[in-house]
Amino acid sequence: MADVKTTSRASTASDREALDHRLIAGNLSLDFVNTLNGHGRARGHEYLHDFRDLVMWSRHAGLLPSSEATRALRESSLHPFAAEREFRETIRLREILFRLFACSARGRRADMADLRSVESVWREGQRHLQLVSSGRSYLLGWDDHPILESISRSLCSSAITLLTSPDIERIRMCSGEACDWLFLDTSRNHLRRWCSMDECGNRAKMRRRRLRLKAGQRS
Ligand SMILES: [Zn+2]
């Protein structure tokens, strides 16, 4: 985002890719899982290439306020190895979450090892919850230490909330060819098939039209 101050290098093509990522899922943790299109494929489309991308995307998705993003970038330039490790761990979490959500979309049972892994990340994050007063009431929020881990903590918490909510039954996978983006189907008739009509929906429409034309030429 334009208002995030950069501390180590100028904006790159990779930054722009993270900022161009379309947030179509209707849920933060599903949008995060969609930062790769083509899980398990050798040539998937990756939007996140390093910790900096993760920070920029988090700002783009509304997860980190600008001031926190700036702080995370500053911290990552001071501790590049820790930032790289945290990035790898967050990507590992993303792939586990994809498998769990994809199982829900396909009506399959999740792998127990994946459940335990997410549970472990979530449990670790709970140590950073704190009770803060807000007027006459109280809120449960996160402390900000360590800042590098705050992104994966929030994403894991968002994922657990979805996994344990009735919305889990509304997770769908795009029917587009070579697209495995996930989304929450909140349509009235629950028949949404595409990540977006502009992309996969239109491509499928064109393909059907081509097939009809071909069939017409043959008859
Ligand atoms: Zn799609």
pLDDT in tens, 84-103: 999 999 999 999 999 999 99
**CB under 8 Å to 11, separation ≥6 — which residues?**
none
| Cα–Cα distance for residue pair 101/99, rounded to 1 Å | 6
Distance 90 CA to ligand 1 centre (A): 23
Query: Both tokens of residue 53?
Result: 């991308």
Classify 172 as helix, strand or coil.
strand
Tell me the three-class secondary structure of 187-215, residue by residue: CCCCCCCCCCHHHHHHHHHHHHHHHHHHH
| Cα–Cα distance for residue pair 152/158, rounded to 1 Å | 10
Min mean pLDDT across 114-118, 155-159, 187-191, 208-212 is at 208-212
Classify 19 as helix, strand or coil.
helix
| Cα–Cα distance for residue pair 98/171, rounded to 1 Å | 11
| Cα–Cα distance for residue pair 199/182, rounded to 1 Å | 14
Distance 133 CA to ligand 1 centre (A): 43
Distance 85 CA to ligand 1 centre (A): 30
- List residues bridging with 184 in a β-sheet: 171
Mean pLDDT calculated for residue range 161-172: 96
pLDDT in tens, 47-56: 999 999 999 9
Distance 20 CA to ligand 1 centre (A): 16
Distance 86 CA to ligand 1 centre (A): 29
- List residues bridging with 132 in a β-sheet: 139
| Cα–Cα distance for residue pair 130/149, rounded to 1 Å | 16
Distance 32 CA to ligand 1 centre (A): 15
Q: Is 185 left (phi over 0), alpha (psi -120 to 50) or beta?
A: beta
Distance 47 CA to ligand 1 centre (A): 15
Provide the whole-model pTM: 0.87
Write down the pLDDT at residue 95. Answer: 97
Distance in angstroms between the alpha carbons of the first and the last residue of the chain:
55
| Cα–Cα distance for residue pair 154/28, rounded to 1 Å | 10
Distance 180 CA to ligand 1 centre (A): 6
Distance 169 CA to ligand 1 centre (A): 19
Distance 18 CA to ligand 1 centre (A): 17
